């Protein structure tokens, strides 16, 4: 494999490890140094491997170069020389040798500690997701900007403010104390959940990026599940939820990027291996005594992976939505509940409940009403589809809704 092919893969996987290991030794306040060293390491690899070819062990080569660059940087800096160079150099010498332990245990220790650092409650959820994408997932600034549908300058400012806040709070890169784990874990899970939603529900038209976001969220949550300190039932519930949703990823859009409604999806495109993993995680999530929104949403997502379109299935989904809304109300969850209500109890009842929501700024609200009214009142159905079209934000959504509108002139 040519360096131009292997380096992007290594960057996504090893950049985050280098940054996490370095930061754990030199402190979060020197995060930019760790990022600079990691970036320079890959730049050196690009230049060297392009001429000499790939080394026998690319990963070991990267860590060896990173170690040398770190030591050279510290030796050039008089502040480090006078105050903390001996201690840091000793740590780097011990932990960043070319034969560095790349076992899952060692990697997870550094990355898990970093995960709790960047998901600290002192910074906003939006900033937590951005830092996670940059530091834990190795996403570039342009990719993050695309995910958030904004520009690179905005993302750079957001990340800078978040890093400054973490420095001011003197956040340590370490796992919280046992008595703090549960509270801090809630914040980490919320960040992973938001990261997943950025991919799964994003209106970005970059399908590859959106899927990468979902897979990265699953990877981070899997790290929590594989650590005996953090392998709690809510972790498995969130893992199950993400597996069930991701299993239908390829069936949710056609080749033109247009949304495919659930009832029209090709079940042959569903990933049954992911569904099976989700079922295992859902069973593990049942071991606890605390019911979370992840448990309920995972249950709903699981039932959506069942092929049978029965009244009993939709009644079960409806009951789960009822409990979810009691636990944590969300207008979007309430809107999704009305679809389940239409399948379980009929469209007339669903229309009454849907119109109570009055989500007048949400195009999905009007699109759903358009569907519900279609066989009951064609005029109202058309009015709602036209309103949905006017509010839709992407060309793909507008195209999908226009096809619904075109049905009325046939």
More confident residue, 216 or 395: 216
Residues 62 and 172 in one domain: no
What percent of the chain stands above pLDDT 90? 52
Angle, helices 104-118 vs 3-26, to 10°: value is: 70
Q: Give the integer Cα–Cα distance in Å for 337 and 223.
A: 32
Q: Strands, DSSP E only, in 70-124?
A: none
Q: Give the integer Cα–Cα distance in Å for 305 and 277.
A: 12
> What band does 104 get if pLDDT is binned at 50, 70 and 90?
low
Distances, alpha carbon 322 to alpha carbons 101, 318, 371, in Å: 49, 6, 22
Residues 88 and 122 in one domain: no
Q: Give the integer Cα–Cα distance in Å for 380 and 236.
A: 43
Which range has the worst mean pLDDT, 66-75, 129-138, 394-403?
66-75
Q: What is the pLDDT of residue 152?
A: 92
The sign of the torsion formed by the CA atoms of 160, 165, 169, 174 equals: negative
Tokens of 45: 């690899």
Q: Looking at the predicted structure, is the pLDDT value of residue 15 above 60?
A: yes
For the chain, helix (H) and strand (E) counts, in that order, are 20, 0
Instruction: Please name which of 133, 269, 316, 273 lies closest in space to residue 214, comparing C-alpha atoms.
Output: 133
Our count of domains for the chain comes to: 3
Q: What is the pLDDT of residue 96?
A: 41
- Vertex 231 angle, CA 214 and 330, to 5°: 50
Strand partners, 259: 253
Q: Looking at the predicted structure, is the pLDDT value of residue 77 above 80?
A: no
Which range has the worst mean pLDDT, 256-260, 335-339, 402-406?
256-260
pLDDT tens across 234-290, in order? 999 999 999 999 999 999 888 877 788 888 899 999 999 999 999 999 999 999 888
Residues 69 and 117 in one domain: no
Domain assignment of residue 214, yes or no: yes
What percent of the chain stands above pLDDT 70? 90
Domain assignment of residue 22, yes or no: yes
- Residues with Cβ within 8 Å of residue 183, at least 6 apart in sequence: none
Domain assignment of residue 284, yes or no: no
Residues 118 and 66 in one domain: no
> What band does 107 get if pLDDT is binned at 50, 70 and 90?
confident
Domain assignment of residue 332, yes or no: no
Domain assignment of residue 195, yes or no: yes
More confident residue, 23 or 378: 378
Backbone angles phi, psi at 243, to 5 degrees: -65, -45
Q: Give the integer Cα–Cα distance in Å for 373 and 380.
A: 6
Domain assignment of residue 311, yes or no: no
Q: What is the pLDDT of residue 94?
A: 46
pTM listed for this prediction: 0.85
Instruction: Please name which of 159, 256, 269, 147 lies closest in space to residue 212, comparing C-alpha atoms.
Output: 147
Instruction: Please name which of 49, 19, 55 lies closest in space to residue 37, comparing C-alpha atoms.
Output: 19
Q: Give the integer Cα–Cα distance in Å for 291 and 262.
A: 27
The whole domain housing 117 covers 103-230
> What band does 101 get if pLDDT is binned at 50, 70 and 90?
low
**Residue 227 DSSP code:** S
Domain termination site, one of 69, 101, 133: 101
Tokens of 5: 């092919």
> What band does 103 get if pLDDT is binned at 50, 70 and 90?
low
Mapped to the 3 state alphabet, what secondary structure does 319-374 carry? HHHHHHHHHCCCHHHHHHHHHHHHHHHCHHHHHHHHHHHCCCCCHHHHHHHHHHHC
> What band does 93 get if pLDDT is binned at 50, 70 and 90?
very low
**Residues recorded for the chain:** 410
Q: Give the integer Cα–Cα distance in Å for 137 and 11.
A: 10
Residues 132 and 89 in one domain: no
Domain assignment of residue 244, yes or no: no
- Determine contact, residues 23/91, Cβ cutoff 8 Å: no
Q: Looking at the predicted structure, is the pLDDT value of residue 100 above 60?
A: no
Q: Looking at the predicted structure, is the pLDDT value of residue 3 above 80?
A: no
Domain assignment of residue 189, yes or no: yes
Distances, alpha carbon 207 to alpha carbons 86, 133, 134, 210, 297, in Å: 48, 17, 19, 5, 23
pLDDT tens across 196-214, in order? 998 887 766 677 778 888 9
Which string of DSSP letters, residue by residue, matches 147-173?
Answer: HTTS-HHHHHHHHHHHHHHHHHTT--S
> What band does 230 get if pLDDT is binned at 50, 70 and 90?
very high
More confident residue, 2 or 232: 232
Mean pLDDT of the chain: 87
pLDDT tens across 48-74, in order? 998 888 898 998 899 889 888 887 876
Q: What is the pLDDT of residue 116?
A: 94
Average pLDDT estimate for 105-114: 83
Residues 118 and 210 in one domain: yes
Domain termination site, one of 230, 253, 285: 230
Tokens of 406: 């075109």
Residues 20 and 42 in one domain: yes
Q: Give the integer Cα–Cα distance in Å for 325 and 335.
A: 11
Residues 109 and 86 in one domain: no
Q: Looking at the predicted structure, is the pLDDT value of residue 40 above 90?
A: yes
Domain termination site, one of 230, 249, 264: 230
Q: Looking at the predicted structure, is the pLDDT value of residue 90 above 60?
A: no
Tell how far CA 311 is from the center of its chain.
Answer: 33
Q: Give the integer Cα–Cα distance in Å for 34 and 28.
A: 9
Placement of tokens 């029209």 in the chain: 264
């Amino acid at each position: 494999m040519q360096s131009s092919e292997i380096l992007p893969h290594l960057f996504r996987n090893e950049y985050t490890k280098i940054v996490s290991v370095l930061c754990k030794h030199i402190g979060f306040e020197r995060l930019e140094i760790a990022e600079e060293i990691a970036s320079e390491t890959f730049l050196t690899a690009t230049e060297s491997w392009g001429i000499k070819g790939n080394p026998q062990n690319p990963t070991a080569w990267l860590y060896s170069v990173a170690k040398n660059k770190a030591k050279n940087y510290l030796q050039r800096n008089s502040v480090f020389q006078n105050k903390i160079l001996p201690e840091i150099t000793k740590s780097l010498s011990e932990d960043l040798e070319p034969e560095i332990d790349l076992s899952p245990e060692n990697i997870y220790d550094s990355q898990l500690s970093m995960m709790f650092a960047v998901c600290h409650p002192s910074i906003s959820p939006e900033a937590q997701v951005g830092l996670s994408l940059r530091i834990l997932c190795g996403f570039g600034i342009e990719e993050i900007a695309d995910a958030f549908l904004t520009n690179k300058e905005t993302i750079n400012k957001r990340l800078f403010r978040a890093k400054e806040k973490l420095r001011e709070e003197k956040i340590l890169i370490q796992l919280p104390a046992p008595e703090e784990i549960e509270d801090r874990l809630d914040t980490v899970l919320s960040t992973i959940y938001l990261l997943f939603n950025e991919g799964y529900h994003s209106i970005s038209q970059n399908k590859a990026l959106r899927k990468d976001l979902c897979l990265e969220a699953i990877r981070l949550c899997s790290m929590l599940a594989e650590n005996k300190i953090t392998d709690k039932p809510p972790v498995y519930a969130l893992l199950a939820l993400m597996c069930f949703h991701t299993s239908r990823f390829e069936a949710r859009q056609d080749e033109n990027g247009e949304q495919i409604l659930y009832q029209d999806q090709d079940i042959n495109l569903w990933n049954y291996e992911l569904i099976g993993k989700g079922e295992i995680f859902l069973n593990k999530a049942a071991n606890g005594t605390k019911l979370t929104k992840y448990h309920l949403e995972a249950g709903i997502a699981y039932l959506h992976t069942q092929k049978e379109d029965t009244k009993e299935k939709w009644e079960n989904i409806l009951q789960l939505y009822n409990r979810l809304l009691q636990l944590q109300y969300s207008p979007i969850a309430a809107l999704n509940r009305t679809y389940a209500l239409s399948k379980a109890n009929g469209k007339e009842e669903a229309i009454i409940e849907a119109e109570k929501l009055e989500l007048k700024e949400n195009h999905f609200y009007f699109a759903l009403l358009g569907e519900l009214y279609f066989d009951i009142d064609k005029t109202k159905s058309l009015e709602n589809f036209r309103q949905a079209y006017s509010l839709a934000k992407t060309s793909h959504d507008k195209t999908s809704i226009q096809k619904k509108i075109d049905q009325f002139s046939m």
